[in-house]
């Protein structure tokens, strides 16, 4: 899977494989960073603990996350700590945060909180690594529904969401007169009329990209997992290989035949093809905005369209959130900070200043819409997206489905290819 995402979702092959196994903690081949940092600031962790995890800092509240989020979180977390008479340490785990956290939590030397993507929840819950968060009664009223849906697992709230990402359709107004096409067919026709070298920059690559293809897959009736009675993803009901996925594969194959989808377009060049004026449209997320602005393109932005006469396109939504460690030394402080993030917009606003991610706080969406209209539109478009399945079995989807897409775009038989991918996925989950 090739995903060029300058974002907060960490969907690495190692993490995905570990999630599928979902049985143990760290991997001896991956380690956190070393370094020496004092409690009260962002650091590389102060040396290594067991299994390569960073040694826990000596502080009243210890938070682990990656380098980008740590830089954004340090200042507001420190301010909160000072206001409450507590020392706070934000520690960087540059490699394999998920597995290092699980291992450290089981050993009793992990952090009090982590900041990570919502699709880790199932694996973290199965490993007993996080606890449900206890929020004030009205706290969720100020958070966009997609945020709360993403952090709800087995009927319980396991995280405090603060930012969301999803895919949108960008248009180069110099290459098309239709900035907001309502259907895929309208988009293709408008791009061809404008004479663009490429109709659409959507990452496919030689290995495929199931993340970016999801809007087209869902529009034609495909689904990944069914839902159980509580609305959770049901790994016993795999949609890949079923009737809707076959219809989707056929539509994707048609786009390949037309030259709309190409394996030569990947996560490495999709955004640059658009910013260089070679593609009329781009399907990407908020991470593309900086490059688009730098290129000074007159662009439009809208929700990804679906196929004419079929279902709406439903991309994935990825939500970033704060989690309370089940084995942390200071669970009360962690719960207090979680409540503060949920109820005090200034914390997330301060984080946004250093890492511009679409917020899920409704007050921030309203106050920031004038200065950051595209960012807030993406947050609003996310309400029409589906949270990426948070179950560990999702790891079995990416490789087989992505490769099936690449082969179908290259001319392979859609029905046979998608059915074979479904068999491989079902076998991996069942095995």
Which residues are registered as beta bridge partners of 183?
306
Whole-angstrom CA distances from 207 to 13, 274, 397, 400, 410 are: 13, 21, 13, 9, 11
Q: Give, as one character, the DSSP assignment of residue 383.
A: G
Hey, what are 377's tokens?
Answer: 């539109």
Whole-angstrom CA distances from 185 to 25, 188, 220, 265 are: 47, 5, 13, 20
Provide the pLDDT for residue 176.
97
> What residue ranges define each of the domains in the chain, with the CATH number in brackets?
13-165+317-387 (3.40.190.10), 168-314+391-430 (3.40.190.10)
Provide the pLDDT for residue 229.
85
Hey, what are 139's tokens?
Answer: 């706290």
d(CA 248, CA 256): 12
- DSSP E strands: which ranges in 296-396? 299-302, 316-325, 386-387
Judged by DSSP in three states, 112 sits in coil
Provide the pLDDT for residue 336.
97
Q: Give, as one character, the DSSP assignment of residue 174.
A: T
Q: What is the DSSP string of 185-230?
A: HHHHHHHHHHT-SEEEE---TTT--HHHHHHHHHHTT--SEEE-TT
Hey, what are 337's tokens?
Answer: 């900070």
**Angle between helical axes of 414-430 and 243-257 (0-180°, round to 10):** 130
Instruction: Look up tokens 């502080």; give the residue.
Output: 59
49-58, 63-72, 82-91, 306-315 — which is least confidently predicted? 49-58
Instruction: Show Cβ contacts of residue 299 under 8 Å, excluding neighbours closer than 6 positions.
Output: 170, 171, 172, 173, 179, 292
Hey, what are 204's tokens?
Answer: 């496919």
Mean pLDDT taken over the chain: 89
The pLDDT of 322-336, averaged and rounded, is 97
Whole-angstrom CA distances from 203 to 47, 66, 264, 397 are: 39, 25, 9, 17
The pLDDT of 156-164, averaged and rounded, is 97
5-9, 85-89, 166-170, 325-329 — which is least confidently predicted? 5-9
Provide the pLDDT for residue 23.
29
d(CA 47, CA 165): 33
Q: pLDDT tens digits for 227-256?
A: 988 888 999 999 999 999 999 999 999 999
Provide the pLDDT for residue 332.
97
**Angle between helical axes of 67-83 and 345-352 (0-180°, round to 10):** 140
Across 330-343, b (16+ Cβ under 10 Å) vs e yields: bbebbbebbbbbbb
Q: What is the pTM of this model?
A: 0.88
Given a cut of 60, whether residue 127 has pLDDT beyond it is: yes
């Amino acid at each position: 899977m090739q995903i060029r995402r300058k974002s907060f979702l960490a969907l690495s092959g190692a993490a995905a494989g570990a999630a599928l196994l979902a049985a143990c903690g760290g991997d001896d081949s991956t380690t956190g960073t070393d370094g020496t940092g004092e409690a009260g600031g962002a650091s590389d962790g102060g040396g290594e603990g067991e299994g390569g995890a960073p040694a826990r800092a000596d502080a009243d509240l210890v938070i682990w996350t990656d380098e980008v989020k740590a830089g954004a979180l340090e200042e507001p977390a420190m301010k909160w700590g000072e206001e409450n008479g507590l020392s706070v340490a934000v520690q960087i785990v540059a490699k394999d945060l998920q597995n290092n956290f699980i291992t450290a939590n089981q050993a009793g030397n992990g952090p009090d909180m982590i900041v990570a993507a919502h699709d880790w929840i199932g694996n973290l819950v199965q490993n007993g690594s996080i606890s449900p968060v206890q929020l004030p009664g009205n706290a969720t009223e100020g958070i966009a529904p997609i945020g709360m849906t993403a952090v709800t697992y087995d009927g319980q709230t396991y995280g405090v969401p603060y930012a969301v990402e999803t895919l949108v359709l960008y248009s180069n107004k110099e290459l098309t007169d239709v900035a907001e096409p309502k259907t895929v067919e309208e988009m293709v026709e408008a791009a061809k009329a404008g004479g663009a070298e490429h109709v659409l920059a959507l990452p496919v690559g030689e290995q495929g990209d199931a993340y970016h293809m999801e809007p087209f897959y869902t529009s034609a009736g495909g689904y990944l997992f069914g839902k159980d009675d509580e609305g959770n993803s049901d790994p016993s009901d795999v949609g890949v290989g079923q009737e809707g996925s076959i219809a989707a594969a056929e539509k994707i194959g048609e786009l390949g035949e037309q030259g709309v989808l190409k394996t030569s377009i990947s996560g490495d060049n999709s955004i640059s093809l658009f910013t260089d004026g070679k593609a009329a449209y781009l399907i990407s997320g908020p991470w593309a905005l900086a490059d688009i602005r730098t290129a000074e393109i007159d662009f439009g932005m809208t929700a990804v369209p679906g196929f004419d006469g079929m279902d709406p396109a439903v991309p994935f939504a990825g939500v970033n959130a704060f989690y309370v460690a089940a084995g942390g030394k200071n669970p009360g402080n962690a719960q207090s900070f979680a409540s503060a993030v949920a109820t005090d917009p200034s914390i997330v606003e301060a984080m946004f200043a250093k890492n511009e991610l679409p917020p899920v706080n409704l007050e921030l969406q309203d106050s920031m819409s004038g200065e950051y209209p595209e960012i807030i539109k993406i947050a609003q478009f996310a309400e029409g997206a589906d949270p990426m399945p948070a179950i560990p079995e999702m790891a079995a989807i990416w490789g087989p489905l992505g490769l099936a897409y690449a082969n179908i775009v290259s001319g392979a038989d859609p029905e046979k290819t998608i059915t074979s991918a479904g068999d491989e996925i079902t076998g991996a989950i069942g095995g």
